[in-house]
């Protein structure tokens, strides 16, 4: 499905949140929510981003879109619209884009939110919500805009006469479709889907996932798909990145990651996936303790306090994020030698 | 079987809640009553409120003068009706001023936060820590009594509560995903503040507005009563009470009826405000 052209490249992305205390509100510590993420997304592919709660996956997605100001790093994006005159792609660093450029970049990069309830303004009609991006960017007026909104609602499986209604008149799944229509209004290249189905009923999840897949076909979209549900990620992603404590521990093609995990954390995460087979006895790998605080991450490899394969070097040296070959990236000293168990079925 | 179609628009839900509350309905009626009187005063007043008629002075309530006449023989009903005009005009203008200031400063503080927010909120604390009436008296004594100055001073002091409410609402709303969604589609700060956040903060603002009116009416009456507000020959309810009080023993109707008007009007606004709060903002329910 994906071509080999790289659409977005993230280099050394960091997002720290200051912890302030005292009357003077001095910065006493930093929450290192995203602590040096490198990855690229190819055109028209779906990159899944997984990890447990608090690992920084949502923060990473928002920093890429600059809904949060990144603390450091580059987000290189190859925009088609900005270069339309020349016919070529134009590469821009989203993280450093000045205000005006950032606004035009919004036309290329959009987001679908997790919560279909709080992500739609309750005081605006569906037509106003979906049409607002067009209004803000001065793309079309009056009748033309209305026509475009109808079209968008149609392509996400809603009726055009839903335009006059308010969000509270819709179900969760329908509301999520409204959010998708809004994201597509500007005809973006990249869509960050921030847990787009985790707030929905299981029966509705499949519908929305299928919608996202068919829209990807239809409009040539590239997805950064943030999720914690591995079965969903496996279903939709071409490649998957696993995050732990603000860093990517492993990134590989979906098949390779699930059948041949190279990082102990990935192995543990996989073993936690429920398998719909009562006779299947899997050895679950129970990680000891909690996720360490991102304010004060462990020394060396961030995962070492919970890793069952750890050796001395893990406590002192931070492993580098490297390519094992075949675009299988991993952050582990012993990735070449460990023999980890794959997931049998999902 | 009859199918009852329940409308679920915002207004329909609001009305269902509100109309259940009898006190609020009564309050609303009082407010409408006084508003109509204020607007139509020249047509409703049976006599000219300013023309003296010495032969008829100090008449108790009668058929000709329902609320009696004052020391110069002027019809008290007409004077009270015209008093509603000034009293309500001052209240509406002062509240409009304070709500506008409150919305502007509160939005900026809640949306941007930071130093401006801290400074503004400390200033609000400061203003609120003064007893309002003394502050009003001092300020009016400084600038001189006039309707314009009354509006300016009371409007200029009354915005603090609104600013706090709006700020708190903005702090809550700006964390909602729809404001992030607005940023994601490229909407500017002003658009997010006034198109997305403010409409969602309207309920408490409407309540604050309604509950702000009686405060101003009372403040104006108090100042006028003290001779620092509306000065004769202009008449507000406060000036009428002030003018009538010396005759309380001999002509009780002079201070009682304008006083009653103040009482009922303030009561009406308070009931209406409480009802609106319960219907619009379920979180504040007792």
Backbone φ and ψ of B134, nearest 5°: -65, -40
C-alpha A50/C-alpha A258 separation (Å) is: 13
For A186, the token pair is 């500007």
Percent pLDDT > 70 in chain B is 94
Check residue B168 and give its pLDDT: 92
β-pair type (A239-244, A46-50): parallel
CB contact under 8 A, A136 and B186: yes
C-alpha A316/C-alpha A72 separation (Å) is: 24
In B, minimum Cα distance to A104 occurs at: B186
Backbone φ and ψ of B233, nearest 5°: -80, -5
Tell me which of B8, B184, B192, B202 to substitute to probe the interface with A (most A C-beta atoms closer than 10 Å): B184
The reply to whether B9 falls in a domain is no
Q: Note the Cα B278 to chain centre separation in Å.
A: 18
For A67, the closest of B8, B10, B184 (CB atoms) is B184
Sheet holding A90-93, edge to edge: A26-42, A6-21, A72-79, A90-93
Residues of chain A with Cβ-Cβ distance to B176 below 8 Å are 118-119
Check residue A54 and give its pLDDT: 82
Classified as helix, coil or strand, B48 is coil
DSSP strand E in chain A: where? 6-21, 26-42, 46-50, 72-79, 90-93, 109-112, 190-194, 222-226, 239-244, 247-253, 322-323, 329-330
Q: What is the ipTM of this complex?
A: 0.84
pLDDT tens string A188-236: 999 999 998 888 888 889 999 999 999 999 999 999 999 988 888 988 9
The reply to whether B182 falls in a domain is yes
Per residue, the 3-state secondary structure of A108-130, as one string, reads CEEEECCCCCCCCCCCCCHHHHH
Shortest CA distance to B86 belongs to which of B256, B230, B266?
B230
CATH number where B159 lies: 1.10.3720.10
Using DSSP, how many helices (H) and how many strands (E) does chain A show? 10, 12
DSSP strand E in B188-256: where? none
In A, minimum Cα distance to B199 occurs at: A123
The reply to whether B11 falls in a domain is no
Classified as helix, coil or strand, B5 is coil
| Pairwise pLDDT comparison (B251 vs A44), residue with the higher score | A44
Backbone φ and ψ of B10, nearest 5°: -55, -45
Q: How many CB atoms lie within 10 A of CB A265?
A: 26
Cβ atoms A271, A342 nearer than 8 A: no
Check residue B156 and give its pLDDT: 86
Predicted confidence band of residue B281 (pLDDT cuts 50, 70, 90): low
Percent pLDDT > 90 in chain B is 23
Nearby residues of B249 by Cβ (< 8 Å), 6 or more positions away: none
C-alpha A203/C-alpha A200 separation (Å) is: 8
The reply to whether B74 falls in a domain is yes
Cross-strand partners of A26? A21
Check residue A70 and give its pLDDT: 92
CB contact under 8 A, B184 and A185: no
Cross-strand partners of B101? none
Chain pair A-B, CB pairs under 8 angstroms: 62
Residues of chain A with Cβ-Cβ distance to B185 below 8 Å are 106, 110, 132-133, 136-137, 182, 185-186
C-alpha A81/C-alpha A101 separation (Å) is: 12
The reply to whether B165 falls in a domain is yes
pLDDT tens string B17-75: 788 888 889 999 999 999 998 898 888 878 787 777 778 777 777 777 777 777 777 88
C-alpha A101/C-alpha A106 separation (Å) is: 9
Check residue B2 and give its pLDDT: 46
Cβ atoms A13, A64 nearer than 8 A: yes
CB contact under 8 A, B187 and A107: no
Check residue A87 and give its pLDDT: 55
Q: How many CB atoms lie within 10 A of CB A21?
A: 10
The reply to whether B138 falls in a domain is yes
A109 Cα to chain B: minimum distance (Å): 8
The reply to whether B39 falls in a domain is yes
β-pair type (A222-226, A239-244): unpaired
Alpha helices (H) along B40-173: 41-44, 76-112, 114-129, 132-143, 147-173
C-alpha A168/C-alpha A174 separation (Å) is: 10
- pTM of structure: 0.82
CB contact under 8 A, A120 and B181: yes
The reply to whether B96 falls in a domain is yes
For A119, the closest of B181, B188, B200 (CB atoms) is B181
Q: Could you tell me if B190 lies within 8 Å of chain A, comparing CB atoms?
A: no
Check residue A2 and give its pLDDT: 47
Q: Could you tell me if B63 lies within 8 Å of chain A, comparing CB atoms?
A: no
Nearby residues of B181 by Cβ (< 8 Å), 6 or more positions away: A111, A113, A119, A120, A121, A179, A182
Check residue B1 and give its pLDDT: 40
C-alpha B209/C-alpha A295 separation (Å) is: 45
Check residue A3 and give its pLDDT: 53
CB contact under 8 A, B178 and A120: yes
Mean pLDDT of chain B: 84
Nearby residues of A16 by Cβ (< 8 Å), 6 or more positions away: A30, A31, A32, A33, A35, A71
Residues of chain B with Cβ-Cβ distance to A133 below 8 Å are 185-186
pLDDT tens string B58-117: 777 777 777 777 777 788 888 888 888 888 899 999 999 999 999 999 999 999 988 889
Q: How many domains does chain B have?
A: 1
Check residue B138 and give its pLDDT: 86
Q: Could you tell me if B194 lies within 8 Å of chain A, comparing CB atoms?
A: no
C-alpha B111/C-alpha B166 separation (Å) is: 10
Sheet holding A247-253, edge to edge: A109-112, A190-194, A222-226, A46-50, A239-244, A247-253, A329-330, A322-323
Cross-strand partners of A75? A10
β-pair type (A26-42, A46-50): unpaired
In B, minimum Cα distance to A187 occurs at: B185
Chain A contacts to B (CB-CB under 8 A): 62, 65, 67, 103, 106-107, 110-111, 113-115, 118-124, 132-133, 136-137, 166, 168-169, 179, 182, 185-186
Residues 195-214 of B with CB under 8 A from A: 196, 199-200
Q: Which residues of chain A have pLDDT under 70?
A: 1-3, 84-88, 281-283, 343-346
Check residue A344 and give its pLDDT: 60
Question: Where in the sequence is the domain holding B129, given as residue range(s)?
Answer: 25-48+63-284
């Amino acid at each position: 499905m994906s071509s080999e052209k790289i659409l977005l490249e993230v280099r050394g992305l960091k997002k720290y949140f200051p912890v302030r205390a005292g009357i003077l509100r001095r910065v006493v510590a930093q929450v290192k929510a995203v602590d040096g993420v490198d990855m690229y997304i190819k055109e028209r592919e779906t990159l899944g981003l997984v990890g447990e709660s608090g690992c920084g996956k949502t923060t990473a997605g928002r920093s890429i879109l600059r809904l949060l100001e990144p603390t450091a790093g580059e987000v290189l994006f190859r925009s088609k619209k900005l270069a339309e005159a020349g016919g070529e792609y134009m590469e821009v660093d989203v993280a450093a884009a000045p205000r005006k450029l950032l606004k035009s970049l919004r036309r290329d990069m959009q987001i679908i939110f997790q919560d279909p309830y709080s992500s739609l303004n309750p005081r605006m009609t569906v037509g106003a919500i979906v049409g607002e991006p067009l209004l803000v960017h001065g793309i079309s007026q009056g009748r033309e805009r209305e026509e475009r909104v109808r079209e968008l609602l149609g392509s996400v499986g809603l009726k055009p006469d839903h335009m006059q209604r308010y969000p509270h008149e819709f179900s969760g799944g329908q509301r999520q479709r409204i959010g998708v229509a809004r994201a597509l209004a500007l005809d973006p290249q990249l869509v960050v889907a921030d847990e787009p189905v985790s707030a929905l009923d299981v029966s509705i999840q499949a519908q929305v996932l299928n919608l996202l897949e068919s829209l990807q076909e239809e409009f040539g979209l590239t997805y950064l798909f943030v999720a914690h549900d591995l079965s969903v990620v496996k279903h939709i992603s071409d490649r998957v990145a696993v995050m732990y404590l603000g860093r990517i521990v492993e990134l590989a093609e979906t098949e390779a990651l699930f059948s041949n995990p190279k990082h102990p954390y990935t192995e543990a995460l996989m073993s936690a996936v429920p398998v719909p087979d009562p006779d299947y006895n899997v050895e679950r790998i129970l990680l000891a303790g909690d996720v360490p605080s991102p304010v004060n991450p462990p020394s060396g490899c961030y995962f070492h306090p919970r890793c069952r394969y750890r050796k001395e070097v893990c406590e002192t040296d931070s492993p580098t994020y490297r390519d094992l070959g075949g675009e299988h990236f991993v952050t582990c000293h012993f990735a070449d030698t460990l023999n980890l168990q794959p997931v049998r079925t999902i | 079987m009859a199918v009852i179609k329940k409308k679920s628009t915002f207004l329909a839900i609001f009305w269902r809640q509100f109309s259940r509350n009898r006190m609020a309905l009564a309050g609303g009626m009082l407010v409408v009553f006084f508003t109509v009187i204020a607007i139509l005063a020249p047509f409703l007043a049976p006599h000219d409120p300013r023309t003296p008629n010495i032969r008829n002075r100090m008449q108790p309530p009668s058929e000709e003068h329902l609320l009696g006449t004052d020391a110069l023989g002027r019809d008290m009903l007409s004077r009270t009706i015209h008093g509603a005009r000034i009293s309500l005009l001052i209240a509406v203008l002062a509240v409009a001023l304070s709500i506008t200031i409150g919305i502007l400063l509160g939005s900026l503080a809640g949306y941007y936060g930071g130093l401006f927010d801290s400074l503004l909120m400390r200033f609000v604390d400061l203003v609120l820590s003064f007893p309002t009436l003394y502050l009003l008296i001092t300020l009016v004594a400084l600038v001189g009594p006039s309707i314009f100055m009354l509006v300016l001073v009371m409007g200029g002091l009354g915005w603090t509560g609104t600013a706090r409410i709006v700020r708190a609402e903005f702090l809550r709303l700006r964390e909602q995903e729809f404001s992030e969604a607005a940023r994601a589609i490229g909407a500017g700060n002003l658009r997010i503040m006034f198109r997305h956040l403010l409409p969602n903060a309207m309920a408490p603002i409407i309540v604050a507005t309604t509950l702000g009116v009686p405060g101003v009416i009372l403040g104006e009456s108090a100042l006028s009563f003290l001779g620092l507000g509306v000065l004769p020959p202009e008449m507000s309810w406060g000036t009428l009470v002030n003018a009538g009080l010396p005759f309380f023993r001999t002509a009780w109707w002079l201070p009682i009826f304008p006083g009653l008007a103040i009482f009922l009007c303030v009561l009406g606004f308070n009931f209406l405000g409480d009802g609106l709060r319960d219907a619009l903002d379920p979180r504040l329910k007792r």
